[in-house]
Amino acid sequence: MAADKGDFSRGKVSGIILRLGLPMMLAELVHVLYNIVDRMYVGHMPEGSTLALTALGISFPLITLIGAFANLFSTGGATLATIARGEGNHDKAESIINTSFTMLVLVGAFLTVVLYAAAPVVLSLLGGDAETLPPALAYFRIYVLGSIPVLISLGMNPFINAQGFPKVGMVTVIIGAGLNILLDPLLIYALDMGICGAAWATVISQGVSAVWVLLFLRGRRAVLRLTGFRVNLSQLGGILKLGATGFCFRITNSITQAIVNVMLKAWGGALSTLYVGAMSLINSLREIVSLPNSGIVMGGQNVMSFNYGSRLWRRVSESIRFTFLSGLGINIALWAVLMLWPDPLIRIFTSDEALIALTIRCARIYFGAFPFMALQQAGQSTFVALNYPKYALFFSLLRKIALVAPLTLLLPPAGLGVEGVFWAELISQLTGATACFLTMRRVIWKEMDRRALGS
């Protein structure tokens, strides 16, 4: 029965993608609450809320870095395991999942030691000063103690979704996020732990999520079972090559966020702390509005990979089409909300009127080309799903490293001032996303249509 549940070669493609994507979207929504709930509670602290939000913003690049290593093994591992299942090679698929798990644990242990020791220096380089460094350091050093459970929870949950159990994957995150929501007010306010309470709430919650993931993947319901610590070196290269896309996306996002913080501090003048706080809130908004399409993309990616392994070209083409068109419609609707009614969304995180006004102005620039992100997501997900690592990696690096980072450095001194930091994102979305989609259309989508006609 479990094997039938993970068979994506039968039934209507759009229905399968929605069946997978909707629970995954809800799971992503709940996952985002890990960081967003922290910011909501911290942003409404009676004293020092704006300073605490700025401290979280400074820590954000390092938190993104930890998540990047989850992507390194989950993106490539889950995709290759799904293709192997489509080919009917169960042993290969199961070996991939065990290799990915072992590497996540080893990397998590390494990151815990290195980032804990290096945190004071790195957070200073990311914009921490005499005022903001102490709360940023207090928060991050607690957060990094949970690196192993964070990587297990984030890195192994995609293997549950890829086997056709999106509701189980959703429960993985709901358990942790529910605990986070309960623990935040208890630790932050009742026990008067402040920003440290927010960090401990996240660590404990992620630990429980990790236990749930391990129990399922070692249980009888799983199609692919986690059996122990072992690394298949012949498979590791393929996992890393394909996983480099998600990894580099996170890493480059971390790098560009660090550059953004530095430029905001340099060009924000007397309002520099407020600008960093505004960017922290914009990052929260971005996480929220990216969720609906991300669920569809993840569901579509699993269906593409399975049918690609089964050589069902027409279903691959149908998956690409549905993923793109539905994502574009979703992003246009969300863009309209961001442009017309951003105020209620921002007030979720803060009651500081000066910060709210500044965030509204900057957010309208930052999200000005948001519909184009559907093109980027459709292109990237297709490259990953069908095992085109070179294209996937190139376009991941193009938008963040070749476009966002240089524009962030160049636009403020070119006459746009501090708002040039936000214009950099808009311009990169227009150009990078369009290039990614058009290349995917030429290299893959047309080829799938041609194979479908010939089959």
Domain span at 287 = 17-454
133-149 as b/e, with b when 16 or more CB fall inside 10 Å?
bbbbbbbbbbbbbbbbb
State mean pLDDT over 157-185: 83
* 419 in any annotated domain: yes
Q: Answer yes or no: is pLDDT of 5 > 60.
A: no
Which pLDDT score, from 0 to 100, does residue 35 have? 60
* 161 in any annotated domain: yes
* 9 in any annotated domain: no
* 11 in any annotated domain: no
Q: Answer yes or no: is pLDDT of 42 > 70.
A: no
* 62 in any annotated domain: yes
CB contact at 8 A, 395 and 380: yes
Which pLDDT score, from 0 to 100, does residue 438 have? 95
Q: CA-to-CA distance for 81 and 387, rounded, in angstroms?
A: 11
* 59 in any annotated domain: yes
State mean pLDDT over 77-82: 86
Residue 14, amino acid: S
* 6 in any annotated domain: no
State mean pLDDT over 87-108: 90
* 355 in any annotated domain: yes
Tens of pLDDT, residues 209-244:
899 999 999 988 888 888 888 888 888 988 888 888
Q: Which of 145, 170, 162, 143 is nearest to 42 (CA)?
A: 143
CB contact at 8 A, 24 and 299: yes
Number of domains in the chain: 1
pTM, two decimal places: 0.72
State mean pLDDT over 323-339: 93
Cα–Cα distances in angstroms (integers) from residue 2 to residues 9, 217, 222, 331, in the given order: 15, 12, 7, 34
